[in-house]
Amino acid sequence: MQLSEKLSDDFKTALKSGDKNKVSILRIIKAAVKNREIEKGSALTDEEICAIFKSFVKRANESIEQFSKAGRTELAEKEKQEVAIMQSYLPQQLDADEIRNLIKKAIKEVEAAGLKDMGKVMKAVMLKTKGQADGKLVNNLVKEILETISAA
């Protein structure tokens, strides 16, 4: 089943079950997908729909951070629930250890010698993860590993 079909089916199910939070989120996502389809002039692929979900997850995570800093825990919790719903449509994320292993392989492949080669390593790792890792986490881990290499 394509992601667009799953999105529509889940939206209908959430409407019937009265899950207002899920209906709200899926309605926003469906509108964003429809707008992107109109811009593109054709149906979106699953990867393009995943990109929409990722952008919404990224925005929600930034909101959670801001709400937490401001002491608005109830709003942060609401955003966390929304993120959980949106992430259920994304590929399973890699954990930090798996990302570290990919980074080490990429460092060997591109023959990175230190922080100056960070761009090469990032590009290689992001191609391998294909949306299964947060870019910010990958960036921090690459920096951490390359700093230990250049310090040695």
Q: What is the pLDDT of residues 44-69, one digit of tens each?
A: 888 888 889 888 988 998 999 999 99
CATH classification number, 96-151, choose in 1.10.10.410, 2.160.10.10, 3.20.20.80, 3.30.499.10: 1.10.10.410
CA dihedral of residues 148, 134, 84, 21 (deg, nearest 10):
140
Q: What are the residues whose beta carbons fall under 8 Å from the beta carbon of 91, sequence distance 6 or more?
A: 50, 130, 131, 132
Q: Let me know the angle formed at the C-alpha of 47 by 9 and 90, rounded to the nearest 5 degrees.
A: 60
Q: What are the residues whose beta carbons fall under 8 Å from the beta carbon of 6, sequence distance 6 or more?
A: 89
- If you average pLDDT over residues 90-118, what whole number do you get? 83
What is the architecture, at CATH level 2, of domain 3-87? Orthogonal Bundle (1.10)
- Percentage of the chain exceeding pLDDT 70: 97
Q: What is the pLDDT of residue 147?
A: 82
d(CA 13, CA 105) in angstroms, rounded, equals 43
d(CA 151, CA 144) in angstroms, rounded, equals 11
Q: What is the pLDDT of residue 10?
A: 92
Taking the domains of the chain in order of start, what are their residue ranges? 3-87, 96-151
